[in-house]
């Protein structure tokens, strides 16, 4: 097992106020549906008592939370769809204390996992703003590059999201790794 960034093992998918499990090998997830998942989760969670009570107390802005939860969920789910090697993709979301926790689980090949660990280690250990602008410049200089790699950095910079990852091998599948991405979004 490898953990990078701030990953809270005490929170699992079973702790989600809502948890969705998809099977893209059997039922393909179209790109326009990524936004639908994010919007659904965001609207569902912000309709619950926890955030409504926080808004009534003046310690949360529901409109802002709808947008920020949807953005983070969208980025994480989109990454999972893009890079899932096989098997189910799972997303769980809950309110805990001063945070909204989003936990995304998917599967990577060992090579993908190695590359991704290197990437997120950089994010966890570097200045996110500096990395963001370096990436933007690199993308601008390289015509073949895209906005890839900016989503996680945007979350950290623009939404003060705390990110963490856990990588686990799968029994009897030596070439596949389960990755859990945890985003902790401050309630504001």
Partner 1 sequence: MSIINSHYSMQVFIQDWKHCDQTSNYFAQLVGASHPLAKRYINLLSTILNEVLEIIFRQNKDNGIEGSMAISIKQEGDYVFTTFDIPVNDSGKFFFTNAIDTINQGDTKLIYRRALQALANNSDTCPQVGLYDVAANYDVNIDYQTKDHDRFAILIGIHYGDIVVD
Site residues (vs partner 1, CB under 8 A):
14, 16-23, 26-28, 30, 32-33, 36-37, 40, 43-44, 47-49, 52
At 174 the three-state DSSP class reads: strand
For residue 61, the minimal CB distance to partner 1 (Å) is 18
Instruction: Kindly state the smallest distance separating residue 18's Cβ from partner 1, in Å.
Output: 5
Instruction: Compare residues 4 and 41 and give the one whose CB is closer to partner 1.
Output: 41
Give me the least distance between CB of 45 and partner 1, in Å please: 8
Task: Read off the tokens for 146.
Answer: 């895209």
Tokens (6 digits) for 56: 């009534």
Indicate the residue among 23 and 133 with the shorter CB distance to partner 1. Answer: 23
Q: Nearer to partner 1 by C-beta: 36 or 129?
A: 36
Closest CB to partner 1 among 56 and 130?
Answer: 56
144-178 burial code (b ≥16 CB/10 A, e <16) = eeeeebbebbbbbbebebbbbbbbeeeeeeeebbb
Dihedral sign (CA 32, 38, 21, 174): positive
Are 49 and 77 within 8 A, CB to CB? no
């Amino acid at each position: 097992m490898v953990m990078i960034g701030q990953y809270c093992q005490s929170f699992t998918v079973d702790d989600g106020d809502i948890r969705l499990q998809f099977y893209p090998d059997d039922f393909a997830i179209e790109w326009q549906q990524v936004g639908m998942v994010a919007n659904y989760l965001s609207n569902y969670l912000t309709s619950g008592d926890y955030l409504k009570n926080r808004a009534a107390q003046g310690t949360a802005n529901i409109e802002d939370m709808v947008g920020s939860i949807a953005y983070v969920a969208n980025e994480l789910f989109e990454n999972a769809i893009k890079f899932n090697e096989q098997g189910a993709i799972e997303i769980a979301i809950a309110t805990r204390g001063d945070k909204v926790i989003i936990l995304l689980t998917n599967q990577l090949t060992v090579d993908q996992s190695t590359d991704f660990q290197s990437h997120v280690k950089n994010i966890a250990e570097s200045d996110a703003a500096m990395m963001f602008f370096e990436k933007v410049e690199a993308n601008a200089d390289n015509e073949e590059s895209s906005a890839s790699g900016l989503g996680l950095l945007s979350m950290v910079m623009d939404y003060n999201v705390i990110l963490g990852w856990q990588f686990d091998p799968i029994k009897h599948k030596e070439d596949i790794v389960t990755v859990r991405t945890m985003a902790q979004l401050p309630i504001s």
